[in-house]
Structure 1
Amino acid sequence: MIALYLLLFLFGLSSAQTAEKVGDVFPIQFVSKGTSDVVGTDTPLGKRYVLTHPGATYIALHFSRLALVKGDAIEVSDADGGQAYTLIESGKGKGAAFWSQHIKGDTIVLNIFTSGRNRSFFEIDEYAAGFESFFETICGIDDKANAACYSSSFPNAYSTSRPVARLLINGRNLCTGFLVSGSNHLLTNNHCIQNTTDALNTDYEFMSEAPTCDSLNSQLSYRGTIFDGATFIQTNVALDYTLVQINLGEPATLYGFLELDDQLAAIGGQVYIPQHAMGKAKQLAIFSTEADDAIDGFCHINKSGNYGCGGSASSNVFYLCDTEGGSSGSPVISMVTNKVVGLHKCGGCSSGNHGTSAHIIRNEVASIILPPATPTPANAATPMPVIAPTIGVPPPTAAPVPVPAPVPAPASIGTTISPVCGDGICDISSENCVTCPSDCNGVQDGKPGARFCCGCGGINPVGCANSACNSGAFFCNTSTQCTASAPAPTPIASPIQAPTPIASPIQAPVPVASPVQAPTPIASPIQAPVKPPTSCLSSGTRCISNSDCCVGVCKGNGTCK
């Protein structure tokens, strides 16, 4: 078989890329009542069943019947109790058979919780066990790389790829898909999901990414967040697309969605493809070492036309970005606009990879995925245009058309993810469970032995070493680990601004005193003129007053004494 694959590689034959088969299905009689291949053990709350398939990369169970009474439940997990999810009532099948969400590893555990009435029942008639696929269709050098490689060098391409999901269909086939609306519509190939049963029995796994650029990447590695099951909306075999809508949860709120372009892509335009090739954690194909792309080393739209996969029924775009089995359903995205210009569907080395032009698919699904336009009231008056005066006014100058920023030439691939709290990635260089609990998992209370903090901070910091740092909705992305406990960082106070001087209150103006005049000298009081002394009267001389007499006595008879 390997020799056949190598022969196809050497001859470079073009072929339709199919859903990548990565699991075999095995029959089993696994029931809660009666004869069963798997025997349960009693627990205080019910029963525990363990199924192991040595060497399996994952296990998924096919429930032919599930009927749990209200209050009863089945917890499905791995051997360590991780990757857990819960089934109640009749599960997502609503009475019909269904495939359960897959569990990575070679062991799957069912814990049955009952209310003691023993009326619940389940029956599993087959299970899928995953295997590592080795088939590749890479032509020349594989130019794909882990998504983390581009978090710094191409941050727009990296962030735009968040709505891309890994699909495990019916427990055994792998493809890629991506969100195309805020209402959780997802687009993939018809040869991946063909009908209602396929849509229901698919695990839609978002943000499965290797933590660093150099991290080893393998099939179904680096568990992301899984949304279980979807509603089938519509499909088109000739255009090879299927549209579904995820029912439980709001992935578009968490990861956003991609916009389908409304026109055929121009020849020569740069493109990139985020994908889950071979079911690996997300990779991006941005560069191309093929001769047709030698002008700058990037992937391009090399040609388009009504030939190739889909024939005359489809307008296809062609490119030489590397893809593999499992890449089917990936978006081909314009580097300039970040809009989807193609839905990848075919691979090969002779005519190149190609996909259905996104503008054709958009024409078919726009009424479903696009919000309706706000209608104009029927009685609304249409305003008459106001004509600007032209006399003496120069003609208007057209606004300049912005020139798109040039796309940087291939550069060395970076490994650092910009730390932003709330982006779903725990970057331990600056985040931990205390400073950013939305990104970094942790337990900081309760028993001391159970406390841990993802990142380098809080109580018992573990970096990314604890499996809980990469479970559920948490994703710890770094290549370093903490080596010692460190206290939660003290928030950096905002710098204290120098106080603005407070102006002294303006006093009412003090009247300026008139200059003080030199005091006018006060005149001495004018004395009555002193009579010049006269000679006094001698004794016996007639007198009027005592002063007339020399002896100072004027007798009563009018004479001086």
Structure 2
Amino acid sequence: MAIAACAALVLAGAAGTTAWHAAGSGKSVGSWHEAPAAAGQTPVSAEQRAGERSQPATPGGASAVPGPSATRLAPEKATVQPSAVVTVPEAGSPERPVESGSAQANGRQRVGELVSVRKLLGYLGGKPRQETFRYPGASYVKLHFSRMALMPGDYVTVSNADGTENYRYDAPADRTGRGDRWAMSVTGDTAVLEVHRGAGNLLGLGDLAGSLGVDVDRVARGFSRTEQDRQPEKQMTAPGRTGREESVCGADTSADAACYRSSDPVAYTKSKAIARLLINGTELCTGWRVGAQNRMLTNNHCFTTSAQAYGTEVWFNYQCAKCGGYDVYQPTKVWGSKVVATDRTYDFTLFTVDKFDSVRKFGYLSLDTRRPAKNQQLYVPQHPAGEPTRIAGSLGEQAGNCAVADSAYDGYAPGSDVAYYCDTEGGSSGSPVISRATNKVVALHHFGGCPNSGVRGDLLAAKLGKLL
């Protein structure tokens, strides 16, 4: 698999712990929202085959309500080193999986692991408590709360090392101390957790203080670049095809999105509409805004239900700040919200996000209602192997193999796909395949194997038009 994002090969620290550094804006960002107590059934396309079941929802799907920036205090600090590692089960075999009716891999790329911890932040001592969770080289750190027993008006914050990314979590309204929820991840290798006391609760706690606090029992740690390079791909291949070990077809001609800013400004601008989907805390797909309304599109094999959407982080603007550099923009992160429609045969899930206004500025893409012609040039903005946005297929002769090879390729249905040799990797599932002739989406990428392929955009436009 290509080792290229941001192209920096020598970073500070020991080998194996290289990571992206956030070039943040310094602005505070949000918190979580509450999932419905009982999620309704996910609308499913009429073509969904009878008897198929969605994947079970994962517990602890968190969501968010923006809160103000926390005042930075300097209480006693402690660094939590990784303890016993609970490895997330592999989604498929180490080999490239083959999709079939009896053996089906989920197609999501693994980008992190779960670490078991046991940390309690209490009230005793008369001042806020703070813990620092540091995993050298990690690409992100995501905390899981097993208990939140707080007084009304109290809250906790989770921030990155320099406080430029900051999420606030208020005391549960029901005062039960219930936990089992994931915080939003912070980008980089350090998460700082801090308990803040409300002004009305500084006195009179008495013995009650000993029973109050916040428990953290798990951390999702994003792989470093070196660790990610060792992960097997999780791209799926079309039924009946074995594919290749990788889906970089020939020499890798993809590049950081930032490299297109001047040479191909249209492609660069369009790439802003895609998002990195962090699913279950440790798995990855790509998604993108489709149409001007609050609508996102990814693959059905990435997730299928509103409960799963609630536990999915949607990262916009996770891009290198400079071509060939290693700083990344601080991504704008929102939670998934509601699945509007999903279909296995055409491998799509249409969903909404929470706090839509915060991502509206990144623009959107449109589905092309016409089937592309053979040899028509393409480009594919994507998050391969968890990297910041890359684009396969550049202007002119450098476009190389990124063109339509077959506009009626067999996917899960005869003639349902567009085939191409644009370079993709695990994590590219759900990426838009865009025509250079129209700058509209002609396919929703889902299969590797060289040729790689995506569900035809004209078919999706016909099925989803009324929902967009």
Q: Tell whether the structures are fold-level matches, with TM greater than 0.5.
A: yes
User: 2:336, 2:351 within 8 Å by CA — same for their partners in 1?
Assistant: no
- Counterpart of 2:129 in 1: which secondary structure? strand
Residue 320 of structure 1 corresponds to 421
After TM superposition, give the deviation of residue 229 of structure 1 in Å: 3.5
Q: Distance in 2 between matches of 1:264 and 1:172?
A: 35
Residue 407 of structure 2 corresponds to 304
- For 1:393-432, list aligned pairs within 5 A: none
User: 1:227, 1:246 within 8 Å by CA — same for their partners in 2?
Assistant: yes
- Counterpart of 1:233 in 2: which secondary structure? strand
- For 1:438-477, list aligned pairs within 5 A: none
User: 1:161, 1:274 within 8 Å by CA — same for their partners in 2?
Assistant: yes
After TM superposition, give the deviation of residue 128 of structure 1 in Å: 1.1
Residue 387 of structure 2 is aligned to residue 280 of structure 1: yes
Change (3 A) 1:334 1:88: same
Change (3 A) 1:95 1:177: farther
User: 1:42, 1:48 within 8 Å by CA — same for their partners in 2?
Assistant: no
Higher strand share: 2
Q: Distance in 1 between matches of 2:453 and 2:424?
A: 10
Residue 372 of structure 2 is aligned to residue 265 of structure 1: yes
- Counterpart of 1:364 in 2: which secondary structure? helix
After TM superposition, give the deviation of residue 209 of structure 1 in Å: 1.7
Residue 214 of structure 1 corresponds to 324
Q: Distance in 2 between matches of 1:367 and 1:247?
A: 21
Residue 534 of structure 1 corresponds to none
Task: Deviation per CA, 1:480-511: give whole Å up to 9, x if none.
Answer: xxxxxxxxxxxxxxxxxxxxxxxxxxxxxxxx
**Unaligned 5+ runs, structure 2:** 1-92, 100-104, 234-245
Q: Distance in 2 between matches of 1:113 and 1:296?
A: 53
Please point out which of 187, 193, 199 is paired with 2:303: 193
Provide the identity percentage: 36
Residue 432 of structure 2 is aligned to residue 331 of structure 1: yes
Residue 355 of structure 1 corresponds to 454
Please point out which of 79, 86, 89 is paired with 2:161: 79
Residue 218 of structure 2 corresponds to 126
Q: Distance in 2 between matches of 1:296 and 1:53?
A: 39
Counterpart of 1:367 in structure 2: which amino acid? K
Counterpart of 2:352 in structure 1: which amino acid? Q
Change (3 A) 1:193 1:90: farther
TM-score, length-scaled by structure 1 = 0.55
Please point out which of 46, 49, 71 is paired with 2:131: 49
Residue 203 of structure 1 corresponds to 313
Please point out which of 264, 270, 284 is paired with 1:154: 264
Compare 150-159 and 81-90 and name the one that shifted more: 81-90
Residue 373 of structure 1 corresponds to none
After TM superposition, give the deviation of residue 99 of structure 1 in Å: 2.4
Q: Distance in 1 between matches of 2:124 and 2:138?
A: 23
Counterpart of 2:314 in structure 1: which amino acid? Y
User: 2:264, 2:394 within 8 Å by CA — same for their partners in 1?
Assistant: no
After TM superposition, give the deviation of residue 212 of structure 1 in Å: 2.2
Q: Distance in 2 between matches of 1:201 and 1:243?
A: 15
Residue 176 of structure 1 corresponds to 286
Counterpart of 1:114 in structure 2: which amino acid? R
Counterpart of 2:449 in structure 1: which amino acid? G
After TM superposition, give the deviation of residue 194 of structure 1 in Å: 2.6
After TM superposition, give the deviation of residue 107 of structure 1 in Å: 2.7
**Number of residue-to-residue matches in the alignment:** 342
Q: Distance in 2 between matches of 1:69 and 1:229?
A: 29
After TM superposition, give the deviation of residue 336 of structure 1 in Å: 1.4
Please point out which of 116, 120, 127 is paired with 1:27: 116
Q: Distance in 2 between matches of 1:302 and 1:43?
A: 68
Task: Deviation per CA, 1:426-485: give whole Å up to 9, x if none.
Answer: xxxxxxxxxxxxxxxxxxxxxxxxxxxxxxxxxxxxxxxxxxxxxxxxxxxxxxxxxxxx
Q: Distance in 2 between matches of 1:154 and 1:78?
A: 33
After TM superposition, give the deviation of residue 72 of structure 1 in Å: 1.7
Task: Deviation per CA, 1:380-399: give whole Å up to 9, x if none.
Answer: xxxxxxxxxxxxxxxxxxxx
- For 1:5-20, list aligned pairs within 5 A: 18-20=107-109
Counterpart of 2:323 in structure 1: which amino acid? C
Change (3 A) 1:324 1:269: same
After TM superposition, give the deviation of residue 198 of structure 1 in Å: 2.3
User: 1:41, 1:48 within 8 Å by CA — same for their partners in 2?
Assistant: no
Q: Distance in 2 between matches of 1:120 and 1:169?
A: 31
Counterpart of 2:166 in structure 1: which amino acid? A
Compare 119-128 and 331-340 and name the one that shifted more: 119-128
After TM superposition, give the deviation of residue 261 of structure 1 in Å: 1.6
TM-score, length-scaled by structure 2 = 0.65
Change (3 A) 1:296 1:170: closer
Largest Rg, 1 or 2: 1
Change (3 A) 1:150 1:107: closer
Residue 246 of structure 1 corresponds to 353
**Unaligned 5+ runs, structure 1:** 1-7, 34-39, 370-561
Residue 170 of structure 2 is aligned to residue 88 of structure 1: yes
